[in-house]
Amino acid sequence: MFSAQGEDWVGRIDALTFHDGPFVDGRIVLGHGDPLTLTAPRDGRALPVIAAASPGDVDAAVRSARRAFDEGEFSRLAPRERGRVLRDVAEAVHARADELALLIALEMGKPIREALETEMRAVVNCFRWYGEAADKLIDESPVTGDDSLALVTREPAGVVAAVVPWNFPLTMTAWKVAPALAAGNSVVVKPAEHTSHSALLLAEIAAHAGLPAGVFNVVPGHGAVAGRALGEHPDVDVLTFTGSPEIGRRFLGYSAASNGKRVWLELGGKTASLVLPDADLDKAVRATADGCFYNQGQMCTSSSRLLVPRARRDEALEIAAAVAADSEPADPLDPATGMGAIVSDRQLERIAGFVRRAPDDGARVVAGSAARREVIPGGSYFAPAVIAADPSHEVAREEIFGPVLSVIAYDDLDDALRIANGTEYGLAAALWSDDLKAVHRVSRRLRAGVVWVNCFEEGDMTIPFGGVKGSGYGRDKSLHAIDKFTDLKTTWIDLS
Shortest distance in whole angstroms from residue 163 CB to ligand NAD: 5
User: What sign does the dihedral 28-34-39-40 (CA atoms) show?
Assistant: negative
**Smaller CB separation from ligand NAD, 330 or 461:** 461
**Smaller CB separation from ligand NAD, 210 or 223:** 223
Pick from 451, 450, 454: which is nearest to 434 by CA? Answer: 454
**Smaller CB separation from ligand NAD, 73 or 483:** 483
Rg for the chain, CA atoms, rounded: 23
Shortest distance in whole angstroms from residue 476 CB to ligand NAD: 6
**Smaller CB separation from ligand NAD, 224 or 371:** 224
Helix (H) or strand (E) holding 451: strand 450-453
Shortest distance in whole angstroms from residue 223 CB to ligand NAD: 2
Shortest distance in whole angstroms from residue 139 CB to ligand NAD: 29
In three-state secondary structure terms, 46 is: strand
Q: Which residues contact 477 (CB under 8 A, 6 or more apart)?
A: 126, 175, 459, 461, 462, 463, 464, 465
Q: Which residues contact 15 (CB under 8 A, 6 or more apart)?
A: none
Residue at 407: amino acid letter: V
Read off the DSSP letter of residue 214. Answer: T
User: Which residues of the chain form contacts with ligand NAD (CB under 6 A)?
Assistant: 163-167, 172, 190, 192-193, 223-224, 227-228, 231, 242-244, 247, 250, 266-269, 300, 399, 401, 427, 467
Shortest distance in whole angstroms from residue 370 CB to ligand NAD: 21
Read off the DSSP letter of residue 114. Answer: I
**Smaller CB separation from ligand NAD, 39 or 433:** 39
Select which of 266, 292, 399, 457 is catalytic.
266
> Catalytic site residue 246?
no
Distance CA 430, CA 448 (A): 10
Select which of 193, 300, 399, 457 is catalytic.
300
**Smaller CB separation from ligand NAD, 332 or 426:** 426
Shortest distance in whole angstroms from residue 134 CB to ligand NAD: 23
> Catalytic site residue 266?
yes
The long-range contacts involving 390-395, CB below 8 angstroms and separated by at least 24 positions, are 390/361, 390/362, 390/363, 391/419, 391/422, 392/361, 393/358, 393/361, 393/362, 393/363, 394/354, 394/357, 394/358, 394/361, 395/354, 395/355, 395/358, 395/361, 395/363
CA 42 to chain centre: 21
Read off the DSSP letter of residue 391. Answer: T
- Residues involved in catalysis: 266, 300
